[in-house]
Structure formats: structure tokens, C-alpha cells
């Protein structure tokens, strides 16, 4: 645990990628396989179920420290994180650091996970005892584990590079072996380093190839006919794996989502064994693609009701072929992969289709089609180089996303709330409003889009212009105007304004605009009709 | 309630002693000011006359002007201002920092300014002054703020410097120009005694300390070094304002650190983008703040800076004291830590 806590602190302390890789390599080189396997579990973003709620954790810490509850609340407000607040406050309680050092795996398997089977008082007694035996760094990591919120600031790519360096392997090999959920066992760790023995997991997907945003003019890409153009769908990216008679559907977050989309699973069974498709999961009815919000009704639910199956039927639109007849064909040229994909899917049931090519003779013609993207219910275009291989991760040059410019609106800041983590103590969560009949109606929240300097400046302004407090929320004078950009707009009964926007973020601080000149709800509702 | 005027009143200019006709650390120009120390949110421009600790004179004159109308007083030496008997006592915050003891008709108030209880080789240690009323800072007035022993922090810093030096990197340490920088130089002088390089903005205050007789590790200005100097393995001190400026181009892949009480909280560390945060403060932490109020024996407490509401409420509810918070205009002017 000490070594893992030190690794966490080292990764947390630096933003330099080489320092992060060095820290991981050093940790893995020294760790027992069981500990390394668990560390990798957390480093790749997987989590254990929350065993203790954060308010419970704070309540236990109150008992241990004998502070008045309001002081705990104030401390928490200043820190913005329960696990850290508790770890800091417990410095007031003498530790008995004599306890035996246990490895990460032993901590999880013999202490933390078995909490599940204990009663609440037993859990409390156990945790209070552990706190007394750990230093602050370890207490913090323990608290994060207990609350199921341990997140480590490394990208998957860095973890892959660290393991590749440790095991002297090609990062692409490590990346592929790491696909799918990681089972934190010594055997899995050994297999990762030494390779599996042919009995590869039949469900294992390939690393996704990610497109980069096209910022230059498309003509800079060269002749139009070297590129395939497809719509950029607003769904869930997925990989459909058919092997050994079974279908596995993976989301881009490497989550197995087969059971949520039985239509796709059934359609996939028609594919020959040894087939892997890359494509998009979309809600799709007789009229064609449905808004993302419809798909969300299928994602959010654990149990699928007949109603949601009927109201939001789904479809898998494939746009790439990664494995054919059991052979990895990612090295085959894009155009040829596409040709084989079309042949393969031609006879599949309707729930499985191929994303059509967008045909246009030249770039200007394609640009004109792109402008109609919103009418087609898509986000823009994808451009894929005809002779490109299917690569792993985000590599520039072969796949470009050419999205529509976002919609935007000028809105007034009306509420602010302090953020958490890096933004604890700063007012960074903003609510914006639009005019409606002389009143300001809240319509969107946005958390990002300002740089650190602007955040600090706005924070100072907010502190001086609080009109009213509602718990942690501050109502501020309606003065500051911001241009908000967003990707889509929906009618919503759940929102006061009657609309919901997708991916709202701050595009610009409109210091030049008085609040009275911000946009009205009516003007944004006109965008709704434009979409239909 | 009381027949006579209070010993201290809050006026738009700051805390005022009517019997003595002077303000303490006023934030607007007044005829007569007693200043607790040289930080710019305490010692401001434009007062008619300044009183302060004699040992801090060099700092005040460098900050506010060589011809500053200033009267210096030795620690513990009483002097009269109007009908008030005044004396200055070490606050342990920075060189020349003073608590102002004010006695009027037998009632004693102490305005502590900023202070700390921990040992600091660059200034006189805090002296406990019993009083009826105590004006305290509350910069770190939350129980999350609890300092590890300073010696351990310095050990960590020296170890970090040595590790960087082994890989040929420059250790770039950011800290406040008055107080923290000299405390580090004094501590390092007692450790390895190696020379430390200084950003130009630190040079003048370091000179002020040396003139006052404080022993510091040898220093040299970065700007005095030849262009070819790469500062490999060296430690360089700089003010936080130099972070992420073109000045940093002088160094190849430096390791950066910030030394401040604020580094105790992870969000603060991450937000500021330093590689390392060393938690070392010239202010009292929560336990020392509460302990100090206890030890002065004061029944009335004014919390004047920082987490004032929180500390005042705690003192009222947990200690049964008559404690109030005042919002000074210097709040938000940039907390030194």
C-alpha cells in the first residue's frame, strides 16, 4: 500500500509524461505480480464498487477527530473532496504506524473488498483502525478506494508505454493485450508481460482508431478522390466482435454493452465467425436516425423495458472491418477494407448496416453537403484516407472529423458553485440564463471553456457580487455575458427552459455585451425548428 | 455596555486606537500608523508617520522609500502614543514582525498581525503576550491546515534538490520574496551551506536581512551569471510571479516547486502547476492558532484576516470567548502563505 500510495503521489505531482512513465516503470518493476495487477486495474481507470459513501466517511472522521460538524462542512468546502478532507483532518489523531505493511492486493482482497460482508458498525470499526495505522498519503488513497473514487491522472497510452518499456514489448502489442476489462490477478499480469498462449479471449476487441479534428481547409488534404467521406454520426462508437458463435459488442470506453442492445446482438449472429466491425450504435426508427437523447434512454437503463425497446430501437452502422475470417486485416488499405465490409454486411439483417459513403465530386461539393449535416441528424463528416491502415489511438493524418461549427448563444451568468478537485475553492461551475419575457430563465450549465486566468478573474468577480446563497450555490448579479457553444438542442420537459442542449461550453467571455443584450429563449427555440 | 471608548475601533481606514490616536496596519492613508511588518498588505504607502520594530527598518525603507518617516522601537521597549502605552513584541512571522501591545487604563490589547509559533532561524521567535483582547489573523483558520515539523519539510526539500542535482536538473523553488525566501536561505545555511541563486526580485530583501545580521547561505543573482551558465544541479529561488514567464527559459527542463502553506491542499497544488509543493508556512496553523488564543488568556478576540468567520465561530462555540470577525479590505488582495 505504501508503494502504491507513493506511486499515486508521484503521478499526481507531475504533469510531465516522462516522469509519469518513469514512476510507473519503477513501481511495476518492484511490485509483486498481485499488487501490479491491482495497480494496473486502477491505472487503466477501472474502479471497485463504492463501499463507503463520502458523507459516511466524513461522519466517521468527525467521531475520530471530535470536531463540530459545521467545521467539517467548512473544511470540506475548502478542499472539495471528502477523501482528502478526511485524510487531512485525521492528522490530528495520533497514528500507530507500527502496523504491518500490506501490499495493495492484500489490502483489497483481505480488507477492503470483504467490507461488503460486514455490518455498518463493523465497517466503521475496521476503517477507524486502519486510519490509525496509515500515514496521510496512504489514508488518502485508502479513502479514495473506499469511496470508489480512485482516479489516477494518467492516460491509457502512458500506462501502455510504461508496461511496454518494462516488458520490452511493442506498445501496440501491450495495447491490444490490455483491451477489455482487466482482471486484477497475478496470472493476468503474467500473461500481459509474457503473452497469451493462443487461447486468446474470444471477446477481445482491438484498440479503437480515433480521428482528429480537421482545422485546415479540406483542400489541404490533396485530391478529393484519395479520401472516403462518411457522415459523422452522433451515437456511441462500438466494436462488434463475432467469434466462436457469439457476439460481443464493445463501447469505446471498452465496456461490454452486448446485453443492452439485443437487436444488434441478434443481427451480429448472422456474421461469419472471426469478424470484427467498427461502427456506431444509433437509435434508429422508420424515419431514420433518432437524436442522441433517444439512444440515452437505452444506455442509462440496466433492465430494458418493452417500451424503451419499442420507442428507441437501435442499429449498428459499420464503417470498418478489423478482422475477417479470423485474420487481423487492420493493415489492409481503407478502401479495400471498406469493399470487403460492404460485401460482408450486404446480407445482414436490417439492424446491421454499413454507414454509406457521402458522394461528392470535389471538395466544394462536399463542403456544401456538410452544411446539411444537421438536417441529416449527424454532426458533420468523416474523412478517411483511401490507402490508410487502421491504426491505434489518436494519430493525425489518416482520419479527420470535419464537424459542423457549433451552435452558439449569448447567455447571462446567474449562478456559480465551487468546483472540486483541481478547481476546489474556485467558482467554476456556472449556470447561464436567457431572457424570457423580461425574466432570466436558467438554460444551461457549463464547466469549461475559460482559461485559468479568466477563471481566477471571474472567481474574484463572483465573490464580490453574490446576491443570495443557496447552500453551496451563489446567485450573482446578472451582469456577465458569455457566448456558449453547443452541439445540439432538444425539447426537454425536465428543464425549466423547456430545452436541453448537448455539450454546452463557454466559447468566449463577452465583456463587450451588457446583460440586456443577451439572447432570448425564443431565439434559441428557433434553432430547434431549424433542426427538424 | 462600556462607559469609556473601546481600546480599538474599526474605522474605514482600519483598526484605530482612539486613546493613542493611531491606526494599526491601516489600509488607507492616516496620520500615524503602527505597522506589524513589511508585507505590502500590512505596511502601505502614504501614512504621515510610521512606527514599527527597529530591526525591520531596512525592509520597510526598501519597500516604502528611503526617506520614510519612521520611528523604530526595540522589542519589549514601551513607548507612549497619546494616552496609550504601546510596546512591540516578536511575532515570529518574518524579520521585524511585531505584535502590538496596547495598554489603555489598565486594559491590554494585542494586535498580533501575522504570526507563527514554529522556530524560524531568520527572525525572533513569537513571544506570548498575555492580554484582555487579542486581534488574530486567520489565514489558515481551518482544521485541515496543520503543519508537519518545518525541519522535516526542509529535509524533504534538500532531498528533492539532491535528487534533481543527480540528474543534472535545476531546482527552481518559488516562494514569497519577503520572509519565506530568507527563511529558506537561513535553513539551508544551517544544512549544506551551498550557494543558492536568486531571481532579481529577491535580491533586495535578502540584502535587508543580511544587513540586519541574519545568517543566510551564500547567494548570487541569476542575472549576474554569464549567459553560458546552465545552473545544472543548482537551486534557484524565485517569486511566484516568475512562474511560466520567459525568465524560465534560462533553465533547461527545471524541476519546479512552490513552498507555501497553501500546498497542503491537493487542488491548490495541482491548480498552480508546480512539480512539487512543500508545505511550509509563516502563518500559524489551526492548532497553533487556537492554542495561542488560549494561552494569551484573552476573553475578547477579533479575527482580522482570512477564515475570520470560521475561527470566530469556533472560539465562541467551543471556547466560550467573545469573538468577532472583521472583514478587512486587504482580504482578497493576494494571500501570502
Dist CA A134 CA A97 (whole Å): 6
Q: Which residue's C-alpha cell is 470577525?
A: B325
- In angstroms, the separation between the Cα of residue B295 and the nearest Cα of chain A is 20
Mean pLDDT of A195-208: 72
A158 in a domain, yes or no?
no
Q: Name the phi and psi angles at A360, rounded to 5.
A: -155, 135
| Structural contact between residues A484 and A408, judged by C-beta atoms closer than 8 angstroms | yes
Q: What is the tally of helices (H) and strands (E) in chain B?
A: 7, 19
Q: Which of A124, A146, A168 is the last residue of a domain?
A: A146
Beta carbons of A79 and B265 less than 8 Å apart: yes
| Residues A299 and A282 occupy one common structural domain | yes
pLDDT at res. B335: 43
CATH number of the domain encompassing residue A309: 3.30.470.30
Q: Which of A382, A403, A424 is the last residue of a domain?
A: A403
| Residues A255 and A390 occupy one common structural domain | yes
Give the pLDDT confidence of B194-237 residue by residue, as tens digits: 999 999 999 999 999 999 999 999 999 999 999 889 999 999 99
B333 pLDDT band, cuts 50/70/90, is: very low
What are the Cα distances from residue A206, in Å, to A71, A209, A254, A259?
50, 9, 10, 20
Q: What angle do CA A104, A106, A110 make, to 5 degrees?
A: 135
Beta carbons of B271 and A423 less than 8 Å apart: yes
Domain that holds residue A9: 2-146
| Residues A227 and A254 occupy one common structural domain | yes
Residues of B in contact with A68 (CB under 8 A): 314, 317-318
Comparing CB atoms, the residue among B143, B273, B332 nearest residue A75 is: B143
Residue whose C-alpha is closest to residue B121's, from B163, B80, B182: B182
Residues of B in contact with A421 (CB under 8 A): 266-267, 270
Q: How many domains, in total, are found in chain A?
A: 3
CB atoms within 10 A of CB B290: 19
Give the pLDDT confidence of B27-78 residue by residue, as tens digits: 999 999 999 999 999 999 999 999 999 999 999 999 999 999 999 999 999 9
| Residues A371 and A329 occupy one common structural domain | yes
| Residues A381 and A471 occupy one common structural domain | no
| Residues A362 and A269 occupy one common structural domain | yes
A190 in a domain, yes or no?
no
| Residues A287 and A346 occupy one common structural domain | yes
A204 in a domain, yes or no?
no
Judged against a pLDDT cut of 50, whether residue B2 lies above it is answered with: no
Q: What percent of chain A has pLDDT over 70?
A: 96
A49 in a domain, yes or no?
yes
| Residues A240 and A276 occupy one common structural domain | yes
Dist CA A165 CA A171 (whole Å): 8
A265 pLDDT band, cuts 50/70/90, is: very high
Dist CA B180 CA B157 (whole Å): 14
- In angstroms, the separation between the Cα of residue A426 and the nearest Cα of chain B is 10
Dihedral, A15, A19, A22, A23 alpha carbons, nearest 10: -60
CB atoms within 10 A of CB A434: 25
Half-sphere exposure of A493 (CA within 13 A, CB side): 0
Helix extents (H) in A113-223: 120-132, 136-146, 156-167, 171-177, 186-194
Helix or strand holding residue B309 (H, E): helix B308-319
A263 in a domain, yes or no?
yes
Give the pLDDT confidence of B241-289 residue by residue, as tens digits: 998 888 988 898 899 999 999 999 988 887 777 888 999 999 999 999 9
Give the pLDDT confidence of A397-448 residue by residue, as tens digits: 999 999 887 788 899 999 999 877 666 778 889 999 999 988 899 989 988 7
- Selected catalytic residue, list A144, A232, A242, A403: A232
| Residues A280 and A309 occupy one common structural domain | yes
pLDDT at res. B4: 67
Half-sphere exposure of A474 (CA within 13 A, CB side): 22
Beta carbons of A422 and B270 less than 8 Å apart: yes
Cell of A238: 462500438
- Note if A49 is an active site residue: no
A34 in a domain, yes or no?
yes
Which of B255, B265, B332 is the best residue to mutate to test the A interface, defined by the most A CB atoms within 10 Å of its own CB?
Answer: B265
| Structural contact between residues B59 and B114, judged by C-beta atoms closer than 8 angstroms | no
Dihedral, B46, B51, B52, B55 alpha carbons, nearest 10: 100
| Residues A450 and A524 occupy one common structural domain | yes
A256 in a domain, yes or no?
yes
pLDDT at res. B328: 58
pLDDT at res. B22: 98
CATH number of the domain encompassing residue A436: 2.40.50.140
Cell of B285: 496553523
Residues of A in contact with B271 (CB under 8 A): 422-423, 426, 452
Task: Provide CB contacts within 8 A for A383, sequence distance 6+.
Answer: A214, A218, A221, A227, A228, A229, A399, A400, A401, A402
B190 pLDDT band, cuts 50/70/90, is: very high
Chain A residue with CA closest to B313: the answer is: A71
Q: Which of A356, A374, A403 is the last residue of a domain?
A: A403
Dist CA A92 CA A71 (whole Å): 14
Domains of chain B plus CATH, in order, are: 9-144+283-325 (3.60.15.10), 150-278 (3.40.50.10890)
| Residues A346 and A253 occupy one common structural domain | yes
| Residues A316 and A380 occupy one common structural domain | yes
A345 in a domain, yes or no?
yes
SS3 A37: helix
Amino acid at each position: 500500500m505504501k508503494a502504491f500510495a507513493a506511486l499515486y503521489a508521484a503521478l499526481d505531482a507531475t504533469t510531465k509524461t516522462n516522469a509519469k512513465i518513469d514512476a510507473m516503470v519503477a513501481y511495476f518493476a518492484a511490485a509483486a505480480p498481485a499488487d501490479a495487477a491491482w495497480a494496473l486495474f486502477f491505472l487503466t481507470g477501472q474502479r471497485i464498487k463504492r463501499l463507503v459513501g463520502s458523507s459516511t466517511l466524513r461522519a466517521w472522521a468527525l467521531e475520530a477527530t471530535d470536531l463540530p460538524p459545521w467545521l467539517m462542512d467548512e473544511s470540506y468546502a475548502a478542499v472539495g473532496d471528502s477523501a482528502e478532507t478526511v485524510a487531512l483532518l485525521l492528522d490530528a489523531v495520533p497514528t500507530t504506524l507500527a502496523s504491518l505493511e500490506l501490499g495493495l492486493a492484500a489490502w483489497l482482497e483481505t480488507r477492503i473488498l470483504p467490507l461488503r460482508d460486514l455490518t455498518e458498525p463493523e465497517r466503521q470499526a475496521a476503517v477507524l483502525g486502519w486510519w490509525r495505522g496509515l500515514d496521510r498519503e496512504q489514508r488518502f488513497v485508502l479513502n479514495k478506494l473506499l469511496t470508489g473514487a480512485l482516479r489516477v491522472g494518467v492516460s491509457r497510452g502512458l500506462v501502455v508505454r510504461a508496461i511496454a518499456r518494462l516488458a520490452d514489448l511493442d506498445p501496440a502489442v501491450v495495447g491490444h493485450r490490455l483491451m477489455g476489462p482487466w482482471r486484477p490477478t497475478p496470472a493476468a499480469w503474467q500473461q500481459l508481460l509474457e503473452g497469451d498462449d493462443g487461447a486468446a479471449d474470444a471477446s477481445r476487441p482491438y484498440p479503437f482508431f480515433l480521428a482528429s479534428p480537421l482545422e485546415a481547409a479540406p483542400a489541404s488534404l490533396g485530391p478529393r478522390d484519395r479520401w472516403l467521406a462518411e457522415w459523422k454520426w452522433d451515437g456511441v462508437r462500438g466494436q462488434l466482435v463475432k467469434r466462436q458463435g457469439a457476439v460481443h459488442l464493445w463501447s469505446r470506453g471498452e465496456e461490454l454493452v452486448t446485453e443492452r442492445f439485443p437487436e444488434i446482438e441478434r443481427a451480429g449472429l448472422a456474421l461469419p465467425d472471426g469478424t470484427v466491425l467498427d461502427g456506431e450504435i444509433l437509435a434508429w426508427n422508420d424515419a431514420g436516425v433518432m437524436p442522441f437523447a433517444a439512444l440515452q434512454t437505452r444506455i442509462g437503463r440496466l433492465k430494458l423495458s418493452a417500451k424503451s425497446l419499442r420507442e428507441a430501437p437501435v442499429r449498428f452502422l459499420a464503417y470498418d472491418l478489423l478482422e475477417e475470417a479470423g485474420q487481423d486485416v487492420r493493415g489492409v488499405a481503407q478502401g479495400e477494407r471498406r469493399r470487403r465490409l460492404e460485401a460482408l454486411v450486404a446480407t445482414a439483417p436490417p439492424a446491421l448496416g454499413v454507414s454509406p459513403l457521402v458522394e461528392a465530386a470535389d471538395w466544394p461539393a462536399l463542403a456544401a453537403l456538410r452544411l446539411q449535416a444537421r438536417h441529416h441528424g449527424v454532426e458533420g463528416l468523416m474523412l478517411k484516407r483511401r490507402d490508410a491502415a487502421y491504426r491505434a489511438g489518436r494519430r493525425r493524418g489518416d482520419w479527420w472529423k470535419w464537424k459542423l461549427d457549433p451552435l452558439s448563444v449569448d447567455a447571462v451568468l446567474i449562478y456559480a458553485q465551487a468546483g472540486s478537485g483541481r478547481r476546489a475553492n474556485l467558482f467554476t461551475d456556472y449556470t447561464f440564463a436567457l431572457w424570457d419575457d423580461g425574466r432570466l430563465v436558467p438554460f444551461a450549465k457549463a464547466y469549461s471553456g475559460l482559461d485559468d486566468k479568466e477563471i481566477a478573474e471571474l472567481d474574484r468577480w463572483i465573490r464580490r457580487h453574490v446576491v443570495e446563497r443557496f447552500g453551496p450555490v451563489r446567485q450573482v448579479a446578472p451582469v456577465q455575458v458569455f457566448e456558449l457553444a453547443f452541439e445540439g438542442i432538444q425539447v426537454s420537459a425536465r428543464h425549466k427552459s423547456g430545452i436541453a442542449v448537448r455539450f454546452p461550453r463557454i466559447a468566449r467571455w463577452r465583456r463587450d455585451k451588457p446583460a440586456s443584450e443577451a439572447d432570448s429563449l425564443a431565439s434559441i427555440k428557433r434553432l430547434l425548428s431549424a433542426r427538424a | 455596555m462600556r462607559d469609556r471608548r473601546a481600546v480599538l475601533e474599526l474605522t474605514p481606514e482600519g483598526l484605530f486606537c482612539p486613546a493613542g490616536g493611531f491606526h494599526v496596519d491601516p489600509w488607507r492613508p492616516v496620520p500615524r500608523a503602527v505597522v506589524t511588518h513589511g508585507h505590502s498588505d500590512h505596511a502601505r504607502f502614504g501614512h504621515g508617520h510610521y512606527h514599527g520594530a527597529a530591526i525591520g527598518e531596512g525592509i520597510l525603507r526598501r519597500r516604502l522609500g528611503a526617506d520614510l518617516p519612521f520611528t523604530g522601537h526595540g522589542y519589549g521597549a514601551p513607548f507612549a502614543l497619546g494616552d496609550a502605552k504601546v510596546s512591540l513584541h516578536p511575532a515570529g512571522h518574518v524579520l521585524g514582525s511585531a505584535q502590538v501591545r496596547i495598554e489603555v487604563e489598565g486594559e491590554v490589547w494585542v494586535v498580533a498581525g501575522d504570526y507563527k509559533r514554529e522556530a524560524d532561524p531568520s527572525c525572533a521567535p513569537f513571544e506570548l503576550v498575555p492580554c484582555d483582547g487579542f486581534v488574530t489573523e486567520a489565514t489558515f483558520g481551518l482544521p485541515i491546515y496543520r503543519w508537519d515539523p518545518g525541519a522535516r519539510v526542509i529535509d524533504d526539500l534538500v532531498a528533492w534538490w539532491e535528487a534533481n542535482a543527480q540528474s543534472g536538473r535545476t531546482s527552481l523553488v518559488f516562494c514569497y520574496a519577503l520572509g519565506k525566501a530568507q527563511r529558506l536561505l537561513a535553513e539551508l545555511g544551517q544544512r549544506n551551506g551551498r550557494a543558492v541563486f536568486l531571481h532579481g526580485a529577491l535580491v533586495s530583501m535578502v540584502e535587508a536581512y543580511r544587513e540586519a545580521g541574519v545568517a543566510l547561505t551564500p547567494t548570487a543573482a541569476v542575472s549576474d551569471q554569464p549567459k553560458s551558465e546552465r545552473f545544472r544541479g543548482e537551486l534557484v529561488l524565485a517569486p511566484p510571479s516568475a512562474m511560466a514567464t520567459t525568465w524560465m527559459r534560462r533553465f533547461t527542463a527545471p524541476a519546479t516547486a512552490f513552498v507555501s502553506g497553501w500546498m497542503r491542499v491537493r487542488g491548490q497544488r495541482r491548480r498552480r502547476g508546480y512539480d512539487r509543493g512543500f508545505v511550509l508556512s509563516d502563518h500559524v496553523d489551526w492548532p497553533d492558532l487556537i492554542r495561542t488564543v488560549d494561552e494569551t488568556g484573552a476573553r475578547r478576540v477579533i479575527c482580522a484576516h482570512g477564515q475570520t468567520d470560521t475561527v470566530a465561530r469556533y472560539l465562541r462555540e467551543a471556547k466560550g470567548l467573545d469573538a468577532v470577525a472583521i472583514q478587512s479590505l486587504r482580504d482578497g488582495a493576494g494571500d501570502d502563505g
